[in-house]
Amino acid sequence: MIRVRPGYSKEYKKRHNPIWPELYRELKEHGIANYSIYLHNDTGYLFGYYEIEDEELFSKLAASSVMQRWWRYMAEILECDEGNMEKGREEILHEVFHLD
Dihedral Cα 53, 12, 21, 49, nearest 10 deg: 10
The sign one gets for the Cα dihedral 67, 69, 89, 11 is: negative
Catalytic residue among 16, 30, 40, 94: 16
What φ, ψ does residue 37 adopt, rounded to 5°?
-130, 130
Is 16 an active-site residue?
yes
Alpha helices in 17-88 (DSSP H): 21-29, 55-59, 65-75
Q: Mind telling me the catalytic residues?
A: 16
